[in-house]
Structure 1
Amino acid sequence: MNKLKNASSPYLQQHADNPVHWQEWGEEALQMAKDQNKPLIISIGYAACHWCHVMEHECFSDEEVAAFMNENFVCIKVDREERPDIDRIYMDAAQLINGQGGWPLNAFAMPDGKPFFAGTYFNKSRWMEVLKQISHLYQTDYEKVAEYARKLAVGVSSEPLDGKPAKPDQEFNNREYNSLWNIWKPQIDFNYGGFKRAPKFPLPVTWEFLLQYHYLTENQESLNAVLNTLDEMAKGGIYDQIGGGFARYSVDEYWKVPHFEKMLYDNAQIVSLYSHAFQITKKDRYREIIEQTLDFVERELTSPENGFYSSLNADSEGEEGRFYVWTTEEMLNALNGNDQDLVFEYYQVTQHGNWEEGKNILLPVSSKEAFAGHHQMALPAFNALLAKADQKLFRFREKRIRPSTDDKVLTAWNALMLKAYVNAFQALGKQEYLEKALKNAHFIRNNMLKADGGLYRNFMNGKASINAFLDDYALLAEAYLHLYSVTFDIRWLESSKNLADYCLEHFYNPQTAMFYYTSDKSEALIARKYELADNVIPASNSVMANVLLKLGSYYDNMNYRRISTLMLGQVMDMVKSSGPWYANWAILMGLETFEPFEVAIMGEDAVAKSHEMQLNYLPTCLFMGGDNENLPLLSGKLVVHKTMIYVCRNHTCKLPVEKTSTALKQINTD
């Protein structure tokens, strides 16, 4: 029978009515496979995945398919967002077998979990062929299948760092850092932004590195690449022009046609990226993007407990993107005859449509400034006209059947959103964003923290579950550092340190100077993996290395700094050769090479002055202070009735100053 009815994952619950006898991953399912000597089907996906829904409808809801699966296999469903450790193992297997992977991911494995075949989406006829071939092979040539599974398991278990002990005393220099642009530049699309070739993912951490690179090297070309990417994304279909928020990726090179699912982790990182770009440029459009995206998160992805939900589905009413696209008739009904010609022209809406079956994705034809100028309108007048039209379109759209929400709350992704609210507060100075960040931080501390200092991964229906993974710890530790920098509440800094110390005890391998993705308290799978490459989310090891460097500065702890340096040294060859896939490591390289500033602000106006300074883009500054000398660098710096700013490097400080403008000059002229 199907055992997913009481699963905590919305993705698993979407399969609870399938005739397939699905089970959750666990000892019971594995033991059943051993007892019955049946191979495993391990089917992995996530709630917002369009092709996962297609395969569920075509294959897993079909009685004929289900009967064959139930008779010949033990069938396991996995939510990759709940169990990324399982997903990583079988995705590695798929990539070893096929050279590529994706979701849905359908792996076939021996009863002990060792995979021997994997693929992605299959239609019904092809899926039945695969099922019959594998069942026949397993029954008639078991030893051959078992031997291949053993060899594949060795491949899955192998790591780039195997046999590569960490080397102490490594140094990083300006020349190597400056040369990174030569690796990145050929891959960038200078016309439409992003990287060359479709599909195009936002990949925020890559552009975060280039912002830092411009700051440290004054390379204007790298800044132009970032700003062009942000401008092109903002006028593309990947951005929801009416409701705010970004889709997961664009299927074309122009950012026009999205895959319509909206992920929390994308929107969190994109808010941070636009916040940093706004600090540099003060562009009104970037402010709009930040505010509209955070409005979307508040409206559609925030739980009553102040956690953040994981995603919105791409599909509604059985169609991908149905909620977001428009026919001309729908537009006319929504606008009710007011300024419709201008709105149609601005959003490039036509009777024929720019997508499927006469439907339109709303795509601004140009910037608002250019459009208003072309029509000889004052910009404020056009902005008011468009805002009124957008409100009408939004209200009309709200009457549609909504895409489903994956309402599980994941620690790692919540940490990214917590950081995003802090970054938006730093850039725009809106107190409500800091309040949202604090509410989420308290939710995490009250619900996701275990008594032993560990974390839970998932919160659903009022209950936390699943041992957390390295990304949960690393991203939360990083978010706490950001929260400390704008509050000077030492509890957030101590919380970050506690998480790092927990990881050093339960995740760290001193031989490789890297952290495993799973703790020594987690169940043993067929492999214990490292996460090294930065992708749509930065690698948990690169985040942890950045955290340790910063904690080393805050606490004057040389062991933290030493481990961070060792970690970067282990991947330097890949940073210098693979460019964007090691972007967060490259950010660490910038900090290691140029050394961060420690900005200590002491006195009753310390927090206010830190906020004033942090309206600027200062990627190499660590802010600390308050009215308590509770960190090594703060000792002896409190002056009665004055608020003093100390700009320091390696705990060696310049002359203290009172004005933030003077402190900024000390930073920018060093």
Structure 2
Amino acid sequence: MSNELHKESSPYLLQHATNPVHWKAWSPEIFKTAKEKKKLILVSIGYSTCHWCHVMEHESFENEEVAEIMNQNFIAVKVDREERPDVDAIYMKAVQLMTGRGGWPLNVVCLPDGKPVWGGTYFRKNDWTNTLEQLQELYKNQPEKMLDYSEKLHAGITNFGLIEQQLDADVINLDKIEDFIAKWEKSFDWEFGGYTRAPKFMMPTNYQFLLQYGYLTKNQKLLNYVNLTLTKMAFGGIFDTVAGGFSRYSVDVKWHVPHFEKMAYDNGQLLSLYADAYKISKNIIYKEVIEKTISFIEREWLNKKGGFYSALDADSLNKENHLEEGAFYVWTKEELNHILKDDFELFSQVFNVNEFGHWEKENYVLIQTDTLEEIANQNNLKTVELQEKKKKWENSLFIEREKRPKPRLDDKCITSWNAILSKGFIDSSKALENENYLNIAVKNTNFILNTLMSESGNLFHTYKNEKATINGFLEDYAFVIDTLIALYETTFDEMWLYHAKNLTNYCMDHFYDVDKKFFRFTSNLDAALISNHYELEDNVIPASNSVMASNLFKLSIYFENTFYEDIARQMAASVFAAIDYPSAFSNWLSVALHFSNYQKEVAVCGENHIGFLKEIKTGYYPKVLLAGCDKNSELPFLKNRYSGPKNTFYVCQNKSCLAPTKSLKQVYKDLNN
């Protein structure tokens, strides 16, 4: 046996291809091999930009003595969690049940049938080898103990996170949202935004709901909190003010020092969030964040086919040619002084090159605390002068930084993440009225439909080296459908809606569980894992089931399909009744609002429908669906509504429409009622 990872395309697996460990990639054959050799299976899960994965590799997996123990007693399996989120989800449940926490690297020891008996995250070398030797000894001498434990744990995994069906699907008590908000507010950080804890993750789906709900209910306190959070994130080191893009999380409470990797799924969601916030506030800080982030994505992640790459590593080569977290991004005073010369003191005021902005050793991570207006006033400058200086400084730093060794790129394309990024570009195009952003989204969506979808109608999950692989998961379908609907609401080309409907019907056939009334994460065409997984909790990325529920509701309107609506309502009612802590179900709360009086639809039929709809969509209407046509349409929602070239407006709610009007002013009045 030998290390087989050189056969793979995943950047994470390839990082481990020269380890002395006899790694195998995940496949059904590993269980057959383990049973034949009567060996335990060791599953180690991570991803290419995971800092502690790199540390454990260096300390343990590159070590010959450690490798000998692993090779002698275990079938060692490396898994890229981004390629196989289904495998990761199952074993993450196991580790959370065993230890009360999770994270990456994720390490699990399983019986030959794949059922876990032990697990954890990062381990130091001696702890790792001692544990493995103890597990092997137990398996050799008392296998019945392991078997008994594995059966009990497997029962826990099977039931983990499941929600009982709500028998009365019409009962979604929206009054409870106020109680949720009151509970939620106790964790708000009113100094730096986000939550009162470290590390701080950005959780875009949380702020999307709070922005929606605050706006719809005219709750200025909630809007102030979201704006505080978005401003402090934009000011913090978590946002790369030099070149754009957000890192994954901040290790401190003030968004200052990030865990420096940049992920596609974060940046796509944050584009949508900042775009929506900009529609309300017209805050130029948000506009700058959007423009810089899109510039970063185009420069670093957009490939020639229109696909987006996945991530940039936290680690890069330092001056001593060693991999070091954040080496590419940080600055010393001497470097800044050399680059900025006479402007260094003013730059230091803006970006806190002082005790507040100091990180470690001699390194500073740029962070703002005061607005440019405030600093300009303190220095007898015009704000516009300081704005121009800031642009010039950042350009100088960008040029200098580009000379450094760049962080490693994860150049696989993940279907769900591409759709999330594409949606971010669509939302940004509406907020900033930028057609180029929309064109990139259209090209990306065509890349998904033409390259990441088979002739049989199924999506693939990943794309690398000119090849699409791994049958798609629910998250791929959910986010692609969401993006297709968003594209329709921007272009009003009905082709996008029919693509969305086809993919939805595919999900009904291959993912929907008629007994559980939710969608499985994995297709019924794929080899079964030790347990089905139903992704229900909204996390850093919204749960694929909550996204599907929203998709079903929207498509039920466009296609007047009560079957879709009934499933969406059943899903939302069941989850809503089970919510304890709202931040873990924030996208579900947004789904629940579809079944409220805030939900409305607008159709514009006439020769200038796109112009009028474009005007409407630059505003913030979080629970309004848009449709339009300039000729007779067979789309059920628009059928028989076109009456000639002169524009007619329809505002609808709860399956009934107000009287048609020729007045856009009347439309706005109806929408704001």
Name the aligned partner's letter for residue 207 of structure 2.
W
Which residue pairs with 1:218 in the alignment?
218
Which residue pairs with 1:118 in the alignment?
119
What residue ranges of structure 1 are gaps of 5+ in the alignment?
A: none
CA deviation string 1:298-357 (max 9, x = no partner): 11111121111111000001100000000112212333x241211122111249971121
Question: What is the CA–CA distance in structure 2 between the aligned matches of 1:353 and 1:425, rounded to whole Å?
Answer: 34
Correspondence 1:329 to 2:348:
no
Which residue pairs with 1:505 in the alignment?
509
- In structure 2, do the counterparts of structure 1 residues 352 and 433 end up closer, same or farther at CA, with 3 Å as the change threshold? closer
CA deviation string 1:402-445 (max 9, x = no partner): 00011110111111111111100111100101101100011000
Contact conserved, 1:508 with 1:516, CA < 8 A, in 2? yes
Question: What is the CA–CA distance in structure 2 between the aligned matches of 1:490 and 1:411, rounded to whole Å?
Answer: 22
Correspondence 1:103 to 2:95:
no
Question: What is the CA–CA distance in structure 1 between the aligned matches of 2:79 and 2:173, rounded to whole Å?
Answer: 44
Query: Could you tell me how far 1:383 is from its partner in structure 2?
Result: 0.7
Question: What is the CA–CA distance in structure 1 between the aligned matches of 2:92 and 2:178, rounded to whole Å?
Answer: 34
Correspondence 1:489 to 2:487:
no
Query: Could you tell me how far 1:652 is from its partner in structure 2?
Result: 2.3
- In structure 2, do the counterparts of structure 1 residues 351 and 557 end up closer, same or farther at CA, with 3 Å as the change threshold? closer
Query: Could you tell me how far 1:562 is from its partner in structure 2?
Result: 0.6
Which residue pairs with 1:624 in the alignment?
627
- In structure 2, do the counterparts of structure 1 residues 107 and 229 end up closer, same or farther at CA, with 3 Å as the change threshold? same
Deviates more, 1:122-131 or 1:283-292: 122-131
Counterpart selection for 1:404 from 386, 405, 408? 408
Question: What is the CA–CA distance in structure 2 between the aligned matches of 1:126 and 1:178, rounded to whole Å?
Answer: 47
Contact conserved, 1:165 with 1:511, CA < 8 A, in 2? no
Which residue pairs with 1:249 in the alignment?
249
CA deviation string 1:126-172 (max 9, x = no partner): 2111121112211121111122112211111114447x345244233
Residues 264-663 of structure 1 mapped to structure 2, 5 A cutoff: 264-317=264-317, 318-335=323-340, 337-350=341-354, 354-575=358-579, 577-594=580-597, 596-628=599-631, 629-663=633-667
Name the aligned partner's letter for residue 311 of structure 1.
A
Query: Could you tell me how far 1:568 is from its partner in structure 2?
Result: 0.9
Question: What is the CA–CA distance in structure 2 between the aligned matches of 1:226 and 1:381, rounded to whole Å?
Answer: 29
Contact conserved, 1:181 with 1:222, CA < 8 A, in 2? no
Residues 140-219 of structure 1 mapped to structure 2, 5 A cutoff: 140-161=141-162, 164-219=164-219
2:480 is paired with a residue whose SS is helix
2:651 is paired with a residue whose SS is strand
2:4 is paired with a residue whose SS is coil
Contact conserved, 1:601 with 1:610, CA < 8 A, in 2? yes
Percent identity over paired residues: 44
Name the aligned partner's letter for residue 190 of structure 1.
W
Contact conserved, 1:245 with 1:293, CA < 8 A, in 2? yes
Question: What is the CA–CA distance in structure 2 between the aligned matches of 1:220 and 1:364, rounded to whole Å?
Answer: 25
Name the aligned partner's letter for residue 15 of structure 1.
H
Name the aligned partner's letter for residue 223 of structure 1.
L
2:567 is paired with a residue whose SS is helix
Question: What is the CA–CA distance in structure 1 between the aligned matches of 2:151 and 2:160, rounded to whole Å?
Answer: 16
2:666 is paired with a residue whose SS is helix
Query: Could you tell me how far 1:585 is from its partner in structure 2?
Result: 0.5
Question: What is the CA–CA distance in structure 1 between the aligned matches of 2:169 and 2:469, rounded to whole Å?
Answer: 41
Query: Could you tell me how far 1:630 is from its partner in structure 2?
Result: 2.3
Query: Could you tell me how far 1:643 is from its partner in structure 2?
Result: 2.1
Query: Could you tell me how far 1:503 is from its partner in structure 2?
Result: 0.9
- In structure 2, do the counterparts of structure 1 residues 195 and 86 end up closer, same or farther at CA, with 3 Å as the change threshold? same
1:339 is paired with a residue whose SS is helix
Contact conserved, 2:372 with 2:387, CA < 8 A, in 1? yes
1:612 is paired with a residue whose SS is helix
Deviates more, 1:344-353 or 1:142-151: 344-353
2:294 is paired with a residue whose SS is helix
Which residue pairs with 2:53 in the alignment?
52
Deviates more, 1:25-34 or 1:297-306: 25-34
Query: Could you tell me how far 1:173 is from its partner in structure 2?
Result: 4.2
Q: TM-score, normalised by structure 2?
A: 0.97
1:107 is paired with a residue whose SS is strand
Name the aligned partner's letter for residue 660 of structure 1.
L
Query: Could you tell me how far 1:660 is from its partner in structure 2?
Result: 3.4
Name the aligned partner's letter for residue 121 of structure 1.
Y
Name the aligned partner's letter for residue 462 of structure 2.
N
Which residue pairs with 1:230 in the alignment?
230
Question: What is the CA–CA distance in structure 2 between the aligned matches of 1:226 and 1:57, rounded to whole Å?
Answer: 41
Contact conserved, 2:357 with 2:367, CA < 8 A, in 1? no
Name the aligned partner's letter for residue 323 of structure 1.
F
Question: What is the CA–CA distance in structure 1 between the aligned matches of 2:662 and 2:248, rounded to whole Å?
Answer: 45
Contact conserved, 1:327 with 1:351, CA < 8 A, in 2? no
Name the aligned partner's letter for residue 583 of structure 1.
S
Question: What is the CA–CA distance in structure 2 between the aligned matches of 1:591 and 1:85, rounded to whole Å?
Answer: 29
CA deviation string 1:544-578 (max 9, x = no partner): 00111111111111111111110011111333x21
Deviates more, 1:342-351 or 1:201-210: 342-351
Query: Could you tell me how far 1:273 is from its partner in structure 2?
Result: 0.4
Name the aligned partner's letter for residue 481 of structure 1.
I
Name the aligned partner's letter for residue 506 of structure 2.
Y
Contact conserved, 1:105 with 1:119, CA < 8 A, in 2? yes
Name the aligned partner's letter for residue 313 of structure 1.
D
Name the aligned partner's letter for residue 243 of structure 1.
A
- Work out the number of aligned pairs and report it: 666
Q: TM-score, normalised by structure 1?
A: 0.97
Contact conserved, 1:328 with 1:351, CA < 8 A, in 2? no
Contact conserved, 2:169 with 2:574, CA < 8 A, in 1? no
Question: What is the CA–CA distance in structure 2 between the aligned matches of 1:326 and 1:161, rounded to whole Å?
Answer: 48
1:103 is paired with a residue whose SS is coil
Question: What is the CA–CA distance in structure 2 between the aligned matches of 1:103 and 1:330, rounded to whole Å?
Answer: 34
1:458 is paired with a residue whose SS is strand
2:626 is paired with a residue whose SS is strand
2:6 is paired with a residue whose SS is coil
Counterpart selection for 1:665 from 651, 664, 669? 669
Question: What is the CA–CA distance in structure 1 between the aligned matches of 2:451 and 2:27, rounded to whole Å?
Answer: 24
What residue ranges of structure 2 are gaps of 5+ in the alignment?
A: 318-322
Query: Could you tell me how far 1:656 is from its partner in structure 2?
Result: 3.0
Contact conserved, 1:173 with 1:593, CA < 8 A, in 2? no
Name the aligned partner's letter for residue 597 of structure 2.
F
What RMSD, in angstroms, separates the aligned Cα atoms of the two structures?
1.5
1:632 is paired with a residue whose SS is coil
